[in-house]
Amino acid sequence: MASTVQNEKEIKVHSGWVSLIITIVIFALSILFFVLGGKNDNGAYIVLGSILTVIGIIILAGFFNLAPNQAAVLSLFGDYKGTVRQTGILWTNPFYSKKKLSLRSRNLNGEKLKVNDQVGNPIEIAAVIVWKIRDTYKASFDVENYEEFVKVQSESAVRHLANLYPYDFSENVDTEANITLRGNAEEVAQALKNELQERVAKAGVEIEEARISHLAYAPEIAAAMLQRQQASAVIAARQMIVEGAVGMVEMAIDKLSEKGVIDLDEEKKAAMVSNLMVVLCAEKSASPIVNAGTLYH
């Protein structure tokens, strides 16, 4: 009869210490009967001792032990009976098969994958996944190999995530919610965790953490993209310098005019603006030149 259980069912079993004492007593009695049967040449004692020995051996098959964060899945001839999460020496039906599962957190250090981002740029990406078993029934009976299942699904989730977002911002690309793989680590990690949790839920696995551990352009375009990033940084820096220089020049002219230090006509203002902009925007320090004449001669 096929089991209809779809989720884990926790059960309690007997402490192994009481069963151990009973087993020791049974073996002691069997030895005693063997000795009495040998001395008295009484076959009944020997038969009784043999029966007790068989019973003791059967009882021994029911012993098992569990450490903290371990569980045992019990089944009888393929029929799921329940999951034990108690710790220590335990005893249950000797005919139950017992499959131990670790409930501890595990790390999956994913391999580097070469995929295309949202805009088609080839990139290298890898992720670290922290996971553990939450439902022992699903991990044991709903998938063939839960560890391999998590590995394959994590690789698939990382590939899909890389296709959803661009590596970096681009003026010609409208990024979804302004999220990029390089610039939004927390948002990307949360998106990866959510998608991976949906994929591995059928295996009874819980994703505790998922993070990108490696992210880079593929070697064939890395040099070109580095030049592009450097050019963008230079342009942004120049823009900031020019904006600051314009503000400083404007302030200088306003202060000079306000205090009446010198009388500046439009031509003198233009010359002053030109000189100040050269000084403020130049990469190297400007060398001052003393003009002994006038602006017009």
Q: Which of 31-35, 38-42, 169-173, 233-237 has the lowest mean pLDDT?
A: 169-173
Reported as a single tens digit per residue, the pLDDT across 175-212 is 555 788 888 889 999 999 999 999 999 999 999 999 99
Which of 63, 85, 101 represents a domain boundary (last residue)? 101
pLDDT of residue 38: 75
Is 296 inside any structural domain?
no
- Tell whether 112 and 208 lie within a shared domain: yes
Contacts of 277 (CB under 8 A, 6+ apart): 245, 246, 249
What DSSP state is assigned to residue 295?
A: T
Residue 156 main-chain phi, psi, to 5 deg? -65, -40
Is 291 inside any structural domain?
no
Is 267 inside any structural domain?
yes
Task: Examine the pLDDT at 4 and tell me if it is beyond 70.
Answer: no
Reported as a single tens digit per residue, the pLDDT across 227-284 is 666 666 677 777 787 777 788 877 877 777 777 666 666 676 677 777 777 776 666 6
Per-residue pLDDT band for 285 (boundaries 50, 70, 90) equals low
- Tell whether 36 and 130 lie within a shared domain: no
- Tell whether 194 and 130 lie within a shared domain: yes
Which of 173, 193, 217 represents a domain boundary (last residue)? 217
Domain of residue 155, residue span: 106-217
Which of 41, 67, 101 represents a domain boundary (last residue)? 101
Is 36 inside any structural domain?
yes
User: How many C-beta neighbours within 10 Å does residue 254 have?
Assistant: 10
The count of domains in the chain is 3
pLDDT of residue 68: 94
- Tell whether 24 and 74 lie within a shared domain: yes
Is 72 inside any structural domain?
yes
Is 295 inside any structural domain?
no
For 192-234, what is the HEC assignment? HHHHHHHHHHHHCEEEEEEEEEEEEECHHHHHHHHHHHHHHHH
pLDDT of residue 293: 52
Whole-number average pLDDT of the chain: 83
pLDDT of residue 228: 66
Reported as a single tens digit per residue, the pLDDT across 45-89 is 888 989 999 999 999 999 999 999 999 999 999 899 999 999 999
- Tell whether 41 and 144 lie within a shared domain: no
- CATH for 157: 3.30.479.30
